[in-house]
Amino acid sequence: LPGILPNPKLVPVQRSLNVVMNQNVTLSCCSASGSPPVRYTLFKHNQQVSSWNRSDSTPALFTLTISSASDVGPYKCKAEHNTSSDGKYSNSLNFTLIEPISKPVLSSPTSHTAKGQNVTLSCFSENGSLPITYIFFKGKQSISPPKIMHEREAAVIFLFVNSSTDSGTYKCKANNSFPNSMKYSNSFNFTLAEERSHSQALIISLGLILLLLVIGFALAIPLFIIPSYKASE
């Protein structure tokens, strides 16, 4: 008589439960210490998918194609002897369907700034499976540690504008668990208020002072020149 079957173990052959649309996956089901022959049946949503009879201790392999959201599971496997009506069920498995990210958008509430000001940059991918990891760059050098976002929201960094080089060029990079999903954003530059604006203000001020002096001198001429002219007559 065949021995008592232990609960079988259902595992993904590819190890990861992350899948992309139209990916082929293989599930392995096996009662390690069960004596053959054993009949293995795979279920999805409690509906039978397929069955395998094993005359030895090798696992039953079930190959599936993830072609819709309903194909992610849950899956269970049943192991039973042909002479027994009492089957044992495995653990339950669900796949996670992952999607590629869309090109991230790099933006700021303001595109104009000046030395000594704080500014913010935000990076956001509208589509793609979470979590999404964002990294900010100035030129080709990263300026932030990876920011892992578990919610559908933008990653934000704060910058202090200390010199004209802080105006840009900035970019950000986003990626998720989808294979080869890394994407770069648009470039972003701040418009920095030019230093010469201070010198322009100084020139304007000096010009106004000079103009006032000229007007004052012009007004003073009748007071000094004309009386001295009359005195000389």
Per-residue pLDDT of the chain (233 residues; tens, 9 = 90+): 456 788 999 999 998 899 988 999 999 999 887 678 899 999 999 899 999 998 888 999 999 999 988 999 999 999 998 766 678 999 999 999 999 999 999 999 999 998 889 999 999 999 999 999 999 999 999 999 999 999 999 999 999 998 888 888 999 999 998 888 899 999 999 988 865 545 565 667 777 788 777 777 677 666 666 555 555 55
pLDDT of residue 195: 53
pLDDT of residue 208: 78
Rounded Cα gap, residues 39 and 78, in angstroms: 8
pLDDT of residue 187: 96
39 shares a domain with 17 = yes
129 shares a domain with 84 = no
pLDDT of residue 168: 80
How many structural domains compose the chain? 2
Domain that holds residue 36: 9-98
Rounded Cα gap, residues 23 and 37, in angstroms: 31
pLDDT of residue 218: 72
- Which among 46, 68, 98 is the end of a domain? 98
39 shares a domain with 22 = yes
114 shares a domain with 91 = no
Rounded Cα gap, residues 7 and 110, in angstroms: 61
Task: Give this prediction's pTM.
Answer: 0.60
83 shares a domain with 23 = yes
- Does residue 208 belong to any structural domain of this protein? no
- Which among 192, 212, 228 is the end of a domain? 192
- Does residue 17 belong to any structural domain of this protein? yes
158 shares a domain with 131 = yes
CATH number of the domain residue 150 falls in:
2.60.40.10
Nearest residue to 187 via CA among 119, 105, 85: 105
- Does residue 133 belong to any structural domain of this protein? yes
Amino acid identity at 76: K
- Does residue 41 belong to any structural domain of this protein? yes
- Which among 98, 122, 142 is the end of a domain? 98
127 shares a domain with 63 = no
Residues 6 or more apart whose Cβ sits within 8 Å of residue 152: 130
- Does residue 131 belong to any structural domain of this protein? yes
- Does residue 212 belong to any structural domain of this protein? no
173 shares a domain with 110 = yes
94 shares a domain with 13 = yes
- Does residue 214 belong to any structural domain of this protein? no
Residue 207 burial by Cβ neighbours in a 10 Å radius (0-12, 13-18, 19+): exposed
pLDDT of residue 47: 94
pLDDT of residue 26: 97
